[in-house]
Amino acid sequence: MPTLSMGVSFNHTASVIVPLVGGLLWANFGYGAAFYGGAVLVGISALIATKVPVHKPKVAQEAA
């Protein structure tokens, strides 16, 4: 079961690695590569977000 501390750890890891990789892409291949790489990451994140389960709230039965 995921925990808040695990989420914070993953977020911190990504916030350190992604700018580093983006900077290397920019320095070696130009700004276009960095922005295309970012677009790919956004697409992957959107696909993964669709897999998050959604719990619908229970609706109370109205008394007839």
Span 21-62, pLDDT tens digits? 999 999 999 999 999 999 999 999 999 999 988 888 777 776
Q: Give, rounded to a whole angstrom, the gap between the first and last alpha carbons of the chain.
A: 40
Domain range for 41 is: 7-45
Residue 33 lies in a domain: yes
The three-state secondary structure class of 1 is coil
Query: Please, which residues have CB within 8 angstroms of residue 25's CB and are 6 or more apart in sequence?
Result: 33, 34, 37
The answer to whether the CB of 28 falls within 8 A of the CB of 20 is: no
Please tell me the predicted confidence (pLDDT) of residue 18: 92
Residue 30 within a domain: yes
Q: Is residue 53 part of a domain?
A: no
Instruction: Output the pLDDT for position 62.
Output: 67
Encode pLDDT of 15-28 as tens digits.
999 999 999 999 99
| 19 in a structural domain | yes
Total number of domains constituting the chain: 1
Residue 1 lies in a domain: no
- Model confidence pTM above 0.75: no
